[in-house]
């Protein structure tokens, strides 16, 4: 993997990853699993249902041609294991998935302070 990319190359990589990552994030099954904090299930779903996108993402990250890229299974396993340990990635998908808009659990009316003597 090329770790000496310029800022411009990093931005180009990010631009190249938007479409395949967006296809995965837009998948309802993946989104439900991710929002349920089932990271293993979400990753499994992405791999099973978006093979082309996963290959493109991996190839682009490694600076390879997606059409000629050959996955190294052991390297992929360790890369995924490292992602599971990154707390900074926990909220990334939340930027792309919508929150529940059902209103369940919503409160209405003015907020009132609870005091020890019962006055409001």
CB 2 within 8 A of CB 63: yes
- Residue given tokens 């019962």 in the structure block: 118
pTM metric for this prediction: 0.63
Q: pLDDT class for 103, splitting at 50, 70, 90?
A: very low
Phi, psi of 115 (to 5 degrees): -110, 160
pLDDT of residue 87: 66
Q: What gap in Å lies between CA 2 and CA 62, rounded to an integer? A: 6
pLDDT of residue 40: 87
Does the structure show a pLDDT above 90 at 7?
yes
pLDDT in tens, 39-89: 889 989 999 999 999 999 989 988 899 999 998 888 878 877 776 666 665
Q: What gap in Å lies between CA 117 and CA 36, rounded to an integer? A: 41
pLDDT of residue 107: 41
Does the structure show a pLDDT above 60 at 106?
no
pLDDT in tens, 9-35: 999 999 999 999 999 999 999 999 999
pLDDT of residue 109: 44
């Amino acid at each position: 993997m090329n770790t000496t990319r310029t800022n411009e190359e990093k931005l180009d990589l990010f631009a190249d990853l938007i479409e395949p990552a967006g296809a995965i994030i837009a998948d309802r099954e993946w989104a439900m699993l991710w929002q349920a904090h089932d990271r293993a299930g979400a990753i499994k779903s992405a791999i099973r249902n978006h093979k082309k996108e996963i290959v493109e993402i991996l190839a682009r990250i490694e600076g390879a041609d997606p059409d000629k890229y050959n996955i190294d299974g052991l390297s992929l396993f360790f890369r995924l294991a490292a992602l599971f340990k990154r707390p900074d990635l926990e909220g990334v998908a939340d930027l792309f998935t919508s929150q529940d808009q059902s209103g369940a659990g919503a409160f209405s009316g003015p907020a009132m302070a609870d005091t020890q003597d019962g006055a409001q």
